[in-house]
């Protein structure tokens, strides 16, 4: 479940800096100077200013193989710029391959898609485990040689089982949780442990048709487009920051089953797109919205 060694070696020489702060003069120059001053070679830099909130966002991808100081000194220089501009920032080294836990129930299409993309090195991450409240998909995990943890949940044992699950994730050093059509609502206590690190796929073009049976809702309304959305899960159901969306055309001839079939293709696409954006450190969250850099 790992990409080729040469590709991994290349990524190990790279780092990514994600920055958000109040918009002001001098930010771009200050960040460029501190990186260049430590010998880093900037490979790409992308930025966005949100005029409505007067907020600035930037992603800088750079080569650390050329550093003439050590990482600790570099991080100290970046911290000084952070304090000066009241920044929120995160620094990600390419040598760390993100560890993803996939949560599933009975639908297999998103699970298969993610596993195949990882297996072909299209997604650069590790999947140490799959968690499910059912046993239906255990054979898929076995086929890909991934541990499958059956953790059944009822209203009576939900808190206890979530505690067990969190302990399992901690033991496996999980960075990101992906809900691949996991038909359970995670509690606020769980989500607080993984802020902006639980990615969910919802089978509608949010904010339309949130909640249960969105394809049935769409059919009843006679919509001409259906969609799917991948977003960060929050305590407010289906209202978290949206990372990726896609749509497909429908017509009056489409039955609910047709919408479901078309929708599953969209679900695969948007979930893998969101996971890729997150694992490549291309997403910033602010004001319940995302900035997703190309």
Active-site residue set: 238
DSSP state of 101: E
Which residues are within 8 A (CB) of 46 and not within 5 positions of it... i.e. 6 or more apart?
A: 58, 59, 293, 294
Listed residue (231, 239, 245, 227) closest to 278, CA to CA: 231
* Segment holding 41, helix H or strand E: strand 41-50
Specify the length of the chain in residues. 294
What DSSP letter does each residue of 212-253 carry, written as one string? S-HHHHHHHHT-SEEEEEEEE--SSTT-SPEEEEEEEE--TT
- Paired sense of beta strands 148-150 and 88-93, if any: unpaired
Which residues are within 8 A (CB) of 146 and not within 5 positions of it... i.e. 6 or more apart?
A: 1, 115, 127, 128, 129, 130
How far CA 146 is from CA of 5, 119, 143, in Å, comes to 20, 12, 8
Handedness of CA 66, 61, 175, 56 (dihedral sign): positive
- Ramachandran angles phi, psi of 278, nearest 5°: -70, -45
Over its C-alpha atoms, the chain yields an Rg (Å, rounded) of 21
Nearest-angstrom CA–CA distance, 51 and 34: 26
H-only helix segments in 130-237: 138-143, 158-171, 188-193, 214-221
């Amino acid at each position: 479940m790992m990409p080729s060694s040469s590709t991994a070696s290349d990524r190990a020489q790279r780092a990514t800096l994600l920055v958000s702060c109040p918009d002001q003069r001098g930010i771009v120059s200050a960040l460029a100077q501190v990186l260049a001053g430590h010998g880093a070679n900037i490979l790409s830099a992308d930025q966005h200013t949100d005029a409505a909130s007067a907020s600035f966002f930037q992603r800088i991808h750079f080569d650390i193989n050329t550093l003439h100081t050590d990482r600790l000194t570099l991080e100290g220089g970046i911290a000084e710029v952070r304090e000066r501009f009241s920044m929120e920032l995160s620094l990600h080294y390419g040598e760390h391959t993100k560890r993803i836990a996939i949560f599933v129930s009975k639908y297999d299409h998103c699970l298969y898609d993610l596993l195949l993309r990882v297996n072909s090195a299209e997604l650069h991450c590790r999947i140490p485990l799959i968690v499910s409240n059912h046993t239906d998909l255990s054979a898929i995990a076995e086929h890909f040689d991934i541990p499958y943890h059956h953790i059944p949940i009822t209203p009576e044992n939900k808190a206890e089982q979530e505690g067990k699950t969190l302990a399992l994730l901690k033991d496996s050093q999980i960075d990101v949780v992906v809900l691949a059509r996991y038909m359970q609502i995670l509690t606020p206590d769980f989500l607080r442990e993984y802020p902006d690190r639980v990615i969910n796929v919802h089978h509608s073009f949010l904010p339309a048709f949130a909640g249960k049976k969105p394809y049935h809702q769409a059919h009843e309304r006679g919509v001409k487009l259906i969609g799917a959305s991948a977003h960060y899960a929050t305590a407010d159901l289906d209202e978290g920051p949206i990372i990726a969306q896609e749509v497909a055309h429908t017509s009056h001839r489409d039955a609910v089953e047709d919408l479901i079939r078309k929708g599953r293709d969209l679900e695969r696409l948007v979930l893998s797109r969101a996971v890729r954006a997150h694992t490549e450190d291309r997403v910033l969250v602010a004001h319940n919205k995302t900035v997703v850099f190309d």
